[in-house]
Amino acid sequence: DPRVDRNHEILQGDVPDPAESPVGCKFSGRCPLTEQRCIDQEPELRLIEEGHYVRCHLVE
């Protein structure tokens, strides 16, 4: 909903070159919570709630 005010965290670092995309999570080079599994394997797309999907190993 565009009317809802949300806090967005600005990621540090550079956006990876699309020609040299990381093997694992596309945000692993910029995310402050990156773990080894984030670097090694791409997370699966999961439904968190109706209409809200996430691709992150750390979201339960």
Residue 25 CB burial class (10 angstroms; 0-12, 13-18, ≥19): buried
Per residue in 34-60, pLDDT (tens digit) is 999 999 999 999 999 999 999 999 987
Report pTM.
0.69
- Cα(30)–Cα(11) distance, rounded to whole angstroms? 6
Q: Where are the domains of the chain?
A: 17-59
The SS3 assignment for 54 reads strand
* Token pair belonging to 5: 């005010």
For residue 4, is pLDDT > 80?
A: no
